[in-house]
Amino acid sequence: MRLPAPDLAASAFVLHVLLHQVVIIVARVTTSYRAVEMGLSDIWIGAVGATFSLLPLFLATQVGARIDEKGARGAFLVGTGGVLVSALGLLTTGNSVIALLGWTGLLGTGHLLCLLSQHATAADQATDAARGRMFAYYTALISFAQILAPLVVAVFAGSGALPDTGRLFAAAAVAGLISLGCVLFMRHPGKPARDGKSAAQLPIRQLLRQKGVVPAILAGVGVICAIDLLVIYLPVLGAQALIPASAIAALLMVRALASLLSRLCFGWLLSRLGRRVMLTGSLLATGLGLTVLGIPVPGWALALAMILIGIGIGMATPISMSWVTSAVPPTSRGLVLSLRLTGNRLAQFLLPMSVGVVATGAGVSSVFLLLAAGLYGSAYSSYRALRPSAGSDAAG
């Protein structure tokens, strides 16, 4: 499959994906630094992180169903606008716990709307193979944005362990304003075509019974939590260990670069290794990298850990996305992607709260060890779910 022609609409979509991720990452990293600046405990930092997923947890399925019925344009506009407002709110009033909780909740809701709209656009392909490659291209764009975002943090952070949070929130707001302009020039996927075989959207209960749906949803939860907790707790670990904010930003850039490079090789590797080997290996690599972060190691080992995590996340995310959308009819893709995001958001809501309690007693490094143990278990479950008897689902 060839990439879309570089017309205005395609360029606007690419720029929107890049800028949206930059806004989200910069705002969330800066929120963690603002919480440390305010002297909040690890439990409160976990609570702020959890609010990012609270409203999306309840709204995801409704948003996905509406995108299937009405198309993605409205969700794109509302979501991008919400992200911009939340960035401005964090800039102007984000100096109390209540403000951090409220604006982070709005940021997460806007992020949900944009993600599901982007996923619907990427999933609008004619074949399973084309869909898998498009998700690889899409997630490669996200990885590139995850390189740009830490660079923004590094440029505006200064040399201290705590950056100038006001300047960082202002940079996020500017990027959010530009991304809102991009939505106006995009070509949005409309309502999916309906034929006699798939004339209506499947109910959620029936959708979850489709072969491969539940294993595919569960496969993505661990790596999504890894991304989330890196953004929340790596800055906290850096502040406690007196690691400069610019060095933490560099580590996040290394992770994102590894993900980007792995996704550029995604199609070639998938055709040779298959979905089972790639997904299991990706989860193991991510868990190993998090284990290294959780133990005392020299600086070069931290970089190696971020490379392992980057490769693991880079491979696992497009595999789970293509797997889950291939398992359902076109009229239910938005809904099944929303169910995937609901599972992710449930974990993102519960995990920061629980690991915040753990971090208070055992230190921030325990957060990474706890998630690593979960990923090792997920790797085993995925290996069993994708055994050769599963037929085409294991083949990729």
282 within some domain = yes
Task: Give the pLDDT band of residue 129 (cuts 50, 70, 90).
Answer: low
Looking at residue 3, its pLDDT comes to 46
Contact in structure between 178 and 360 (CB atoms under 8 Å): no
Burial 277-310 (b: 16+ CB within 10 A, else e): bbbbbbbbbbbbbbbbbbeeeeeeebebbbbbbb
**How far apart are the C-alpha atoms of 113 and 183, rounded to whole Å?**
13
Residue 227 contacts by C-beta under 8 Å, 6 or more apart in sequence?
A: 313
82 within some domain = yes
Q: What's the CATH number where 333 sits? A: 1.20.1250.20
Amino acid at 230: L
Contact in structure between 45 and 356 (CB atoms under 8 Å): yes
Looking at residue 78, its pLDDT comes to 92
- pTM here? 0.69
30 within some domain = yes
Most confident of 130-144, 308-322, 343-357: 308-322
pLDDT at position 54 over 60: yes
**How far apart are the C-alpha atoms of 353 and 364, rounded to whole Å?**
13
Contact in structure between 173 and 88 (CB atoms under 8 Å): yes
pLDDT at position 93 over 80: yes
373 within some domain = yes
201 within some domain = no
pLDDT tens per residue across span 207-254: 777 766 777 777 777 787 787 778 777 887 777 777 788 888 888 888
The residue segments making up the domain with residue 252 are 8-189+224-395
Q: What single DSSP character describes residue 95?
A: -
pLDDT tens per residue across span 167-204: 899 999 999 999 999 888 877 655 555 554 444 666 77
293 within some domain = yes
Beta strand residue intervals within 226-303, DSSP E: none
275 within some domain = yes
pLDDT at position 5 over 60: no
Residue 373 contacts by C-beta under 8 Å, 6 or more apart in sequence?
A: 287
For the chain, how many structural domains are there in total? 1
345 within some domain = yes
